[in-house]
Amino acid sequence: MDCNDPSWKTKSEEDFENNRFQIPHLTEIFVDDVSIPSTFCLKSRRSPVITEEFVEGYQSDEKWNGYVNNDDKVLLKVIRFSSPTSAGAECIGPDCTWVEQWVHRAGPRENIYFNPEEVNAAIVTCGGLCPGLNDVIRQIVITLEIYGVKRIVGIPFGFRGFFEDGTPEISLSRNVVENIHLSGGSLLGVSRGGPSVSEIVDSMQKRGITMLFVLGGNGTHAGANEIHNECRKRRMRVAVVGVPKTIDNDILLMDKTFGFDTAVEEAQRAINSAYIEAHSAYHGVGLVKLMGRNSGFIAMHASLASGQIDICLIPEEPFQLYGPHGVLRHLKYLLENKGSAVICVAEGAGQNLIGRTNAQAASGNSMLGDIGVHIQQEIKKYLKENSVPAEVKYIDPTYMIRACCANASDGILCAVLGQNAVHGAFAGYSGITVGICNTHYVYLPIPEVIAYPKHVDPNSRMWHRCLTSTGQPDFN
Ligand SMILES: Nc1ncnc2c1ncn2[C@@H]1O[C@H](COP(=O)(O)OP(=O)(O)OP(=O)(O)O)[C@@H](O)[C@H]1O
Ligand SMILES: O=P(O)(O)OC[C@H]1O[C@](O)(CO)[C@@H](O)[C@@H]1O
Ligand SMILES: [Mg+2]
């Protein structure tokens, strides 16, 4: 954007709303498509099962203002920064000019672009496990049934299930999913890696899928967007809708992603155990490693929530272990002055200290070195060399946290996201994902949310709050 152009602000707002954040719709490809009245209405006194007479849509004497207008919008950024030097400032233009950024509001539309009788819906869960996957699957199935959809299947073990033999699809209904949110994991199974996009779309074509709900993180969404593009190329009338699943909370533009709150809450148990061990020993050191491959949100929030952490280390904030400003020197100070210390480290932190390998996992993610084990060893070595007696206890609760059921706040988030994913598909949108922005639910074009992983901003108020709480110095 050329800020010397006198109309740059208007142009920027228009570009944002009409271009970047415009969400793809089936009618862009199928120009003659017409909508039909929605079959989704909660004020109907009829059975939720679609009947011939209901095809005309909701019939009631009462007015129901339960639908979302296609032009309803939600403001993406709500702080008006007066200076680029304000903490956490995200400015467009040199003077931090107020630029309105509107995105589409999620929810049921009065008119829909799929006849529920003809819908063949599929759900797939990819990437690592995350609390709440079953909650989202459950809500998608229940909401599809309320619209009147009868054919709903789950694709087993992520994108792999589209391809591999011996993994039959799972037939889904309200009866099947009724209680699945009471267990952690994914009813459908998950995986990384898998077939190419064109193989996936071949398989969708063969199965006659018309709605695909894809639950996963950055990688999965990149895949979902490619599937959407490939379907368009082949002129397949399919709605591909993502539901962002990342326990690390590393997807752009959203207040949070499901599973994150649960992870922070569950991490408290590990931190508290580390704290008790540390405080019950002479010169006790508790060390907890938490998830966060590229982003330290879980470590930062868990540290802040617990109030028991003395040192929080995240990938976004480089640190030294040795030297006068290093972590180990500060740890020694804590042991000598406070008697014990608790450290929380995100898995992706300090990778420069352990000689990163170039090894890649099935998904293409680089394999991380174990920073938790490394720090534990270095602490023991350093304290021994400096003749400081200490008891070091290391806890890695990663997979215990991931396998948990969603807590209440995530349960609600999952419910709303799952329902909105179905509303988005029926509204005719494809290549979108659902999210919560400033407490409101929105549809976003997939490329905008996966442009890069969301990181903790070391200049943000939240990171500063964490530092205020731990009292740790700068380790650089
Ligand atoms: N750039 C990409 N384009 C197409 N498909 C991708 C891409 N990156 C990953 N995928 C596919 O998406 C699936 C999941 O990817 P990945 O393992 O990175 O998990 P994720 O969705 O990022 O979730 P998590 O937060 O658990 O890492 C894999 O099956 C992988 O093949
Ligand atoms: O062991 P897996 O299944 O590859 O998952 C580990 C990764 O998954 C995540 O928990 C994200 O889902 C990351 O924090 C971590 O790097
Ligand atoms: Mg990933």
- Look at residue 395 in the predicted model and tell me its pLDDT: 98
Instruction: Report the alpha-carbon distance of residue 347 to residue 399 in Å, rounded.
Output: 13
In the chain, where the domains are located: 14-68+106-255+406-437, 260-405+459-470
In this predicted structure, the answer to whether residue 400 has a pLDDT above a threshold of 70 is yes
- Supply the DSSP string of 177-221, one letter for each residue: HTTGGGSSS-TT---S--S-HHHHHHHHHHHT--EEEEEESHHHH
Query: Closest ligand to 290 CA?
Result: 2
- Identify the sign of the CA torsion 430, 434, 438, 440: positive
Per residue in 184-196, pLDDT (tens digit) is 999 999 999 889 9
Mean pLDDT of 126-151: 97
Per residue in 262-294, pLDDT (tens digit) is 999 999 999 999 999 999 999 999 999 999 999
Which CATH fold topology does 14-68+106-255+406-437 show? Rossmann fold (3.40.50)
Asked whether residue 220 is marked as a ligand-binding residue, the answer is: yes
CA of 87 to the centre of ligand 1 (A): 33
Query: Closest ligand to 447 CA?
Result: 1
Helix (H) or strand (E) holding 359: none
406: Cβ below 6 Å to ligand 2?
no
Per residue in 39-60, pLDDT (tens digit) is 998 776 555 555 555 555 555 5
250: Cβ below 6 Å to ligand 2?
no
- Look at residue 156 in the predicted model and tell me its pLDDT: 97
Whether 454 contacts 250, CB under 8 Å: yes
Q: pLDDT category, 177, cuts 50, 70, 90?
A: very high
Whether 235 contacts 263, CB under 8 Å: no
Query: How far separated are the first and last CA of the chain, in Å rounded?
Result: 36
Instruction: Report the alpha-carbon distance of residue 154 to residue 206 in Å, rounded.
Output: 15
Mean pLDDT of 87-94: 80
230: Cβ below 6 Å to ligand 2?
no
- Look at residue 318 in the predicted model and tell me its pLDDT: 97
Instruction: Report the alpha-carbon distance of residue 247 to residue 86 in Å, rounded.
Output: 29
Q: Which residues pair with 342 in a beta bridge?
A: 286
What's the CATH class of domain 260-405+459-470?
A: alpha beta
Average pLDDT in the chain: 93
Residue in 259, 248, 205 with CA at minimum distance from that of residue 227: 205
Instruction: Report the alpha-carbon distance of residue 13 to residue 19 in Å, rounded.
Output: 10
**14-68+106-255+406-437 against 260-405+459-470: fold identical:** yes
What percent of the chain has pLDDT above 70?
Answer: 94
- B/e letters for 115-124, b = 16+ CB within 10 Å, e = fewer, are bbeebbbbbb
Whether 108 contacts 421, CB under 8 Å: no
CA of 218 to the centre of ligand 2 (A): 12
In this predicted structure, the answer to whether residue 176 has a pLDDT above a threshold of 90 is yes
Instruction: Report the alpha-carbon distance of residue 134 to residue 184 in Å, rounded.
Output: 7
Mean pLDDT of 411-430: 98
Whether 131 contacts 162, CB under 8 Å: no
In this predicted structure, the answer to whether residue 324 has a pLDDT above a threshold of 90 is yes
Instruction: Report the alpha-carbon distance of residue 440 to residue 198 in Å, rounded.
Output: 35
- Supply the DSSP string of 28-76, one letter for each residue: GTSTT---EE-S--TT--S-SS--GGGGG----SS----PPPTT-EEES
The separation between CA 278 and the C-alpha centre of its own chain, rounded to angstroms, equals 33
Residues with Cβ within 8 Å of residue 372, at least 6 apart in sequence: 287, 288, 289, 345, 347, 394, 396
CA of 365 to the centre of ligand 3 (A): 7
Range with the poorest average pLDDT among 63-67, 270-274, 330-334, 442-446: 63-67
- Look at residue 47 in the predicted model and tell me its pLDDT: 55
- Pairing of β 239-244 and β 432-437: parallel
Instruction: Report the alpha-carbon distance of residue 38 to residue 26 in Å, rounded.
Output: 16
Q: Whose CA is nearest to atom 3 of ligand 2?
A: 128
Residue 61 or 382, more confident: 382
